[in-house]
Chain A
């Protein structure tokens, strides 16, 4: 039997090492895209953030860039209100859909229902926006004109973040050890009581992570909200008031903004990025803690 040629093994060790190095560099380059994003957005914000202009985002009355008014608070309230309402609606619906899939759906419905939720996650935000504009807004306008409103924005956001809540909650529920529900059954608990008092508390962390990620998605959503919210810069006083969100503001004004004005748009982008990065990391932490919890 011939031993392995030493020359060959030397060259293959060599290719392995160069492959490892190449892939390592590729990985660093890819990860540095995030750094590049933060760097370039930060660079564009410098004109607005250097100098005394910084406080104007909170102290100026309102947002009239052509008249040198750069108050962003009304749009911040718009963003927060629409996101909060969407989370309030989507959380019970999403958890309900996940429970339905796992415990209540008749067997032939389970797979189509899950496929439907996954497909819902893939639909373009512009399609949601278009549907909202042609169906939902006129519907709301029939009761309380003008229709394009905080309510319309929140409802569209609810539909858009539902799949995130539902799919991630289902994964969290599925990761609850089988023995938990067995134990609950042995205690004579009904199905509903088992779910409410055993399964959901055990899956709490995973569901919480789902809600955090859904919040991030709602905060960052742009086109669908822009199309149905009316885009009037004002602090919303009722559900039926038109609003403008920070993201919609960027999309609406980037086309013609220059200098200080352009720079302020990047400021709102930078703030959004930091908030969403913090949420993503928080979700990551919560999920990991959940994983180690069950293992223990």
Chain B
């Protein structure tokens, strides 16, 4: 057998004392070096990702806590938000979210139930709806803003209002909610459906008493992720729910959300940085809590994934 240099990459083989010995040694050194470099590169990438996240959160927390206080949360903004607090902003944000949830939940759960319980994956309608949802999930928020402005504000005559903003966000949150509900329903074992059918339960009763309760944690997790996306949103709201920072008197009033408030303070109000930091801290805090609960819920759901006994 000829000494073949291709075996030289196998570690632990002793080389025969020959001319091949030195090339084998360099090959081993090379392999070891590139292995080290690769591992170092992976660690570096991970460190950079973690560092950028921590830098952002620490910077906002450090500056934000200096300004944040109970009165900041409970007072109305004065002089374009430089003074006072964010009470009216928080109320507007909550109202916009309430509209979003009220519209998105029934629609989203309905679509998910139809897709997973009443349609066949391969049917043409189901395929078209699935593709539409995927595309909808990818559409940039500024385009939702354009649409919301043209459709809800102008065409339906709702004007710059909390309703317009909430409806626009509902369109954005729907795909997230539908996908989460679907995955929750598909995790329910098939035996349960057959068991319900064997007991003479109608499909509606089986859904209400068996399938939806079993999928509840996944639905909640999806709902929280959707709410998180809605709370974080700015571009879709600027031209739908507007800029007004007064206390909204009805859902037809314009209301400024927390994210829009941060945008306005940092771009259009000189000397608004302190208030912007504190508002950003409130927003980040909300988002981290909402998303952490959602992750926790879906993790636990996946782990205790209802097993057939």
Contacts and interface: CB of A to CB of B under 8 A. Distances in A.
Given A130-B280, A247-B142, 8 more contacts: A12-B202, A27-B110, A27-B125, A37-B136, A123-B56, A133-B267, A192-B35, A266-B150
Interface string A80-107: 0000000000001111110111011100
A41 B143 contact: yes
B132 A279 contact: no
B200 interface: yes
Interface residues of A, number: 94
Interface string A28-62: 11110111110011011000000000000000000
Given A116-B53, A118-B295, A251 B235 contact: yes
A185 interface: no
Given A41-B150, A127-B280, A227 B11 contact: no
A124 B204 contact: no
B291 A276 contact: no
Contacts of B134: 280-281, 284
Interface in B176-207: 178, 200, 202-205, 207
25 contacts: A16-B204, A23-B113, A26-B107, A26-B114, A27-B114, A31-B132, A92-B45, A115-B295, A116-B53, A118-B295, A119-B53, A122-B232, A124-B233, A124-B234, A124-B259, A124-B262, A127-B262, A127-B284, A159-B56, A166-B49, A247-B142, A251-B142, A269-B142, A276-B138, A279-B138
Nearest to B7: A188
A179 interface: no
B139 A193 contact: no
Contact of B205 (A12, A33, A124, A266): A12
A120 B48 CA distance: 13
A92 B38 CA distance: 12
Interface in B87-144: 106-108, 110-111, 113-115, 118-119, 125, 128-129, 131-144
Given A124-B234, A213-B138, A276-B139, A269 B146 contact: yes
Contacts of A124: 231-234, 259, 262, 283-284, 287
Contact of A29 (B46, B107, B135, B178): B107
Contacts of B252: none
A3 to B, nearest CB: 10
A116 B225 CA distance: 15
A16 B113 CA distance: 13
A40 B34 contact: no
Interface string B37-66: 011011111101110110110011000000
Contacts of B301: none
A24 B150 CA distance: 27
Given A127-B56, A130-B262, A193-B35, A31 B128 contact: yes
Contacts of B200: 4, 9
A280 B107 contact: no
B241 interface: no
Contacts of B38: 192, 195-196
Contacts, number: 279
Contacts of A266: 146, 150
B262 A250 contact: no
Nearest to A162: B49
A29 B110 CA distance: 11
B285 to A, nearest CB: 11
A96 B239 contact: no
Nearest to B34: A192
A188 B10 contact: yes
Nearest to A111: B299
A141 interface: no
A236 B39 CA distance: 36
Interface of B: 9-12, 31, 34-35, 38-39, 41-46, 48-50, 52-53, 55-56, 59-60, 106-108, 110-111, 113-115, 118-119, 125, 128-129, 131-147, 149-151, 155, 171, 174, 178, 200, 202-205, 207, 225, 228-229, 231-235, 238-239, 259-260, 262-263, 266-267, 273, 276-277, 280, 283-284, 287-288, 290-292, 295
A265 interface: yes
A29 B111 CA distance: 9
A173 interface: no
A26 B45 contact: no
B283 to A, nearest CB: 6
A171 interface: no
A140 interface: no
Given A27-B115, A99-B42, A254 B239 contact: yes
A23 B276 CA distance: 44
B300 to A, nearest CB: 13
A192 B39 contact: yes
Taking each of A36, A92, A97, A122, which has the highest tally of chain B beta carbons within 10 Å of its own beta carbon? A122
A280 B262 CA distance: 30
Contacts of A128: 56
Taking each of A36, A123, A251, A266, which has the highest tally of chain B beta carbons within 10 Å of its own beta carbon? A123
A220 interface: yes
A188 B38 CA distance: 18
A222 B259 CA distance: 13
Contact of B111 (A23, A37, A129, A226): A23
A222 to B, nearest CB: 4
7 closest Cβ contacts across the A-B interface? Answer: A220-B140, A96-B45, A12-B202, A124-B232, A100-B46, A23-B114, A280-B138
